Chain A
Amino acid sequence: MATPIIMPRQGISVETCIITEWHKKKGDRVEVGDVLFSYETDKASFEEEAKEAGVLLEIFFEADQEVPVLIPIGVIGEPGEDITPFLPENMAQGQAADAAAPGGAGGADPAADAGAAAGAGASPAQVLSAGEIKISPRARNLAKKHHVDLRSAVPTGPEGRIIERDVHKLVETGPKVTAAAEAEYAVLDRPVAGTGIGGRVTTEDLQKAAAGPGAAVDFAPGGATAEGPQIPAVIEYQDQPLSNIRKLIAKAMHQSLVNSAQLTLNASFDATAILEYRKQLKAGQEGLGLENITINDLILFAVARTLVSYPALNAHFFDDTLRVFKNVHLGIAVDTDRGLMVPTLFDANLKSLNQLAKQAKRLISQAKAGSISPDELQGGTFTVTNLGTLGIESFTPILNPPQTGILGVCAIEYKVRPAESGYAHYPAMTLSLTIDHRAVDGAPAAQFLQELKQNLENFPLLLAK
Chain B
Amino acid sequence: MPKSQFVSPEEVRQKDFIKFQDIPVNQYNKTIKEEKANYSKEDFLRIYRDMVYIREFETMLNLIKTTGAYNEVEYNYPGPAHLSIGQEASAVGQAYLLGVEDYIFGSHRNHGEIIAKGLSAIHKLSEDELLEIMKEYWGGSTFAVVEKANPNASVKELAVDFLLYGALAEIFGRVTGFNLGMGGSMHAFFLPFGIYPNNAIVGGSGPIATGAALFKKANRKKGVVIANLGDGSMGCGPVWESLNFAAMEQYRELWDDEFKGGLPIIFNFFNNFYGMGGQTFGETMGYRELARVAAGVAVNQMHAERVDGYDPLAVIDAYRRKLSVITEQKDGPVFLDVITYRFSGHSPSDASSYRTKEELDAWMAADPIVGYRQKLVDAKIADEAAFAEIDEKIKATMFKIYKLAIDPEISPRADLDKNPDFIGDMMFSNAKVEKFDDRPCDVLIPKEENPRIQQIQKKVRVGVEDGKPVSKARALQLRDALFEAILNKFYTDPTLIAYGEDNRDWGGAFAVYRGLTESLPYHRFFNAPISEAAIAGSAVGYGLCGGRVIAELMYCDFLGRAGDEVFNQMSKWQSMSGGLLKMPVVLRVSVGSKYGAQHSQDWTSLCAHIPGLKVVFPVTPYDAKGLMNAALSGTDPVVFFESQRIYDIGEMFHLEGVPEGYYEVPIGEPDIKKQGKDITILTVGATLYRALDAAKILEEKWGLSAEVIDARTIVPFNYEKVLESVKKTGRILLSSDACERGSHLKDMAQTISELAFDYLDAPPVVVGARNWITPAHEYEKYFFPQPEWIIDAIHEKILPLDGHTAATNWTRNEQLRRQKYGV
A residues neighboring B (CB under 8 Å)? 15-18, 20, 40-44, 64, 66, 101-111, 113-120, 136-139, 141, 156-159, 161, 163-165
Contact = CB atoms under 8 A, between A and B. Distances in A.
B730 A118 contact: no
B652 to A, nearest CB: 12
B812 interface: yes
Interface stretch (B50-58, B359-367, B795-803): B795-803
A372 B607 CA distance: 62
Interface residues of B, number: 54
B599 to A, nearest CB: 15
Contacts of A157: 761-762, 799-800
Given A16-B471, A40-B455, A113-B814, A120 B514 contact: no
Contacts of B806: 114-115, 117
B757 interface: yes
Interface stretch (B6-14, B393-401, B786-794): B786-794
A191 to B, nearest CB: 23
A137 B762 CA distance: 8
- Choose among B474, B593, B761 the residue with the greatest number of A CB atoms under 10 Å from its CB: B761
Contacts of B812: 159
B22 interface: no
Q: Which of B477, B780, B787, B796 has the most CB of A within 10 A?
A: B796
Contacts, number: 122
A136 B760 contact: yes
A171 to B, nearest CB: 15
B809 A113 contact: yes
Contact of A119 (B649, B760, B800): B800
B794 to A, nearest CB: 10
Interface of B: 455, 458, 471-474, 477, 479, 507, 510-511, 514, 593, 645-649, 686, 689-690, 693, 730, 757-762, 777, 780-781, 784, 786-789, 792, 795-800, 804-812, 814
A136 B473 contact: no
B761 A163 contact: yes
10 contacts: A42-B647, A102-B686, A109-B807, A114-B807, A115-B809, A117-B795, A136-B760, A138-B759, A138-B761, A161-B762
A106 B789 contact: yes
B761 A136 contact: yes
B611 to A, nearest CB: 32
Contacts of B473: 16-18, 41-42, 66
Given A103-B784, A156-B800, A111 B758 contact: no
B472 A16 contact: yes
Q: Chain B at the A interface: mostly helix, strand, loop or mixed? A: loop
A66 B781 CA distance: 31
B805 A114 contact: yes
A162 to B, nearest CB: 10
A16 B514 CA distance: 19
Given A64-B458, A115-B809, 13 more contacts: A42-B473, A42-B477, A43-B510, A44-B511, A103-B593, A108-B808, A109-B807, A110-B807, A115-B792, A117-B804, A137-B759, A157-B762, A158-B797
B762 A158 contact: yes
Contacts of B786: 103, 106
Contacts of A111: 807-809
Contacts of B759: 137-138, 141
B787 A106 contact: yes
A290 to B, nearest CB: 55
Contacts of B789: 106
A40 B762 CA distance: 50
Contacts of A115: 792, 796, 806, 809-811, 814
A158 B761 contact: no
Contacts of A104: 777, 780-781
B471 A66 contact: yes
Given A42-B479, A137-B757, A139-B761, A103 B798 contact: no
Nearest to B458: A64
The 5 closest A-B pairs by CB, nearest first: A106-B786, A119-B800, A43-B511, A115-B811, A108-B807
Nearest to A140: B758
A42 B796 contact: no
A42 to B, nearest CB: 5
A157 B794 CA distance: 10
Contact of B760 (A18, A102, A105, A138): A138
A15 B788 contact: no
Contacts of A120: 800
A138 B728 CA distance: 11
A107 B781 contact: yes
Nearest to B803: A117
B491 to A, nearest CB: 22
A108 B808 CA distance: 8
A165 B702 CA distance: 14
A122 to B, nearest CB: 12
Of the candidates B686, B730, B759, B777, the one having the most CB atoms from chain A within 10 angstroms of its own CB is B730
Contact of B811 (A43, A109, A116, A136): A116
B9 to A, nearest CB: 24
Contacts of B760: 136-138
A64 B784 CA distance: 37
Contacts of B784: 103
Nearest to A139: B761
A43 B514 contact: yes
Contacts of B804: 117
A163 B799 CA distance: 8
A66 B474 contact: yes
Nearest to A66: B473
A118 B800 contact: yes
Contacts of B472: 15-16, 42
B762 A103 contact: no
A136 B732 CA distance: 13
Contacts of A117: 795, 800, 804-806
A19 to B, nearest CB: 10
A178 B708 CA distance: 40
Contacts of A109: 807
A158 B798 contact: yes
A119 B797 CA distance: 10
B792 to A, nearest CB: 8
Contacts of A102: 645-646, 649, 686, 689
B466 to A, nearest CB: 17
B694 to A, nearest CB: 9
Contacts of A108: 788, 807-808
Contacts of A137: 757-761
Contacts of B780: 103-104
A114 B792 CA distance: 10
Contact of B800 (A66, A101, A158): A158
A106 B788 contact: yes
A114 B809 contact: yes
A43 B693 CA distance: 27
Nearest to B801: A117
Nearest to A161: B762
A101 B692 CA distance: 12
A15 B472 CA distance: 9
Given A111-B809, A120-B800, A138 B730 contact: yes
Contact of A163 (B514, B762, B795, B808): B762
A462 B646 CA distance: 96
A105 B795 CA distance: 20
A99 to B, nearest CB: 9
A264 to B, nearest CB: 50
Contact of A164 (B477, B730, B787): B730
Given A102-B645, A119-B800, A136 B788 contact: no
A409 to B, nearest CB: 50
Nearest to A113: B809
A15 B648 CA distance: 12
B572 to A, nearest CB: 36
A111 B799 CA distance: 21
B3 to A, nearest CB: 15
A456 B514 CA distance: 109
Contacts of B507: 43-44
